[in-house]
Amino acid sequence: MKRVSLTQHLVEEQRLNNAITAELRLLIEVVARACKTISHSVGKGALGGILGSADTENIQGEVQKKLDVISNEILLEANEWGGHLAAMASEEMETIHPIPNRYPMGEYLLMFDPLDGSSNIDVNVSIGTIFSVLKAPEGMGAPTEQAFLQPGAQQVAAGYAVYGPQTMLVLTTGHGVNCFTLDREMGSWVLTQRDMRIPEQTKEFAINMSNQRHWYPPVQRYIDELLAGKTGPRGKDFNMRWIASMVADVHRILNRGGVFMYPADARDPSKPGKLRLMYEANPMAMIVEQAGGAATDGRQRILDITPTSLHQRVPVFLGSKSEVEQVTGYHVE
């Protein structure tokens, strides 16, 4: 079987759908190269002296791991000089990172969660990088935070890398979802799954059950029905899976079906959910929808939400369409 590299795949997509510009192709290649570098650091673990806390906090008030900081730096440095970006934004940084004046300014905006699932870093469980690409608004001068506040439906590309037993890159440019596996010996990304589709029917769900006492009634009702199993209203047994790394949980759902939930709860009504709209929910929603699934905040499609701030949080329900529609229906009622 002929091996198709990431570059070849993107060039063919450029010709076929005229969907991606040469600049966007280069941008995706640079992000993929940065993910390769992060994968190398992750793989070294304790041998590279990169485990443990960096003893700093990010803008979210979360303690940063050394690898969070390293991954953020890798992505910034890799993407600064190529000429295809106007600015970047990261979950780890308070405000945007404009491209330094010494480099040409491009027409795209890049957002990323440099290392998702950082609580798993020190215990050798799958973690990942999530990224999202927007086009800069027409006639934009110096980039501002405002330029980034576009609904997820306007993303031109989204993807994630998962650093597990294999390193994989899952990518969409709006024409389906494809998966590439890193050939560590050759150092190249090889296409290993074309046009991924989320299975329609599922018997798996992912949620942090320890927060159950804080859930709102629609989530409580939905989970109670799943847990009732064969004898309950759903008439079948469900399994729960929870990796506490969104990338790993979504990757499983993409391959096996299921529903991933991080709902808002009663603990802090001012925080609508834990996940960030721009760095996590939007890119994952685009990928999931492109694979035939659905993604909502419990009331509306995630990709239709117009962001009001760079680090806005949002409840997330995504995965197999019928399940997402069911739990969303309970909220709407």
Binding-site residues for substrate, in ranges, read 116-119, 208, 274
Extended strands (E) in 4-135 = 53-57, 63-65, 85-90, 97-98, 108-116, 127-135
Strands lying side by side in the sheet with 85-90:
97-98, 85-90, 108-116, 127-135, 157-163, 167-172, 177-183, 188-193
- The whole-angstrom separation of Cα 78 and Cα 312 is 26
Please name the residue that has the structure tokens 């215990």: 123
Annotated binding site: 91, 113, 115-119, 208, 274, 280
One-character DSSP codes across 119-142: GGGGGT--EEEEEEEEEPPTT--S
Looking at the DSSP bridge assignments, the partners of residue 193 are 179
**C-beta of residue 193 within 8 angstroms of C-beta of residue 179:** yes
- The whole-angstrom separation of Cα 49 and Cα 61 is 24
Annotated binding site for Mg(2+): 91, 113, 115-116, 280
- The whole-angstrom separation of Cα 182 and Cα 191 is 9
- The whole-angstrom separation of Cα 111 and Cα 91 is 8
Residues 6 or more apart in contact with residue 287 via CB below 8 angstroms: 158, 159, 160, 170, 172, 177, 250, 254
**C-beta of residue 72 within 8 angstroms of C-beta of residue 90:** yes
Looking at the DSSP bridge assignments, the partners of residue 163 are 127, 167
- The whole-angstrom separation of Cα 39 and Cα 321 is 32
Question: Largest Cα–Cα distance in the chain?
Answer: 66
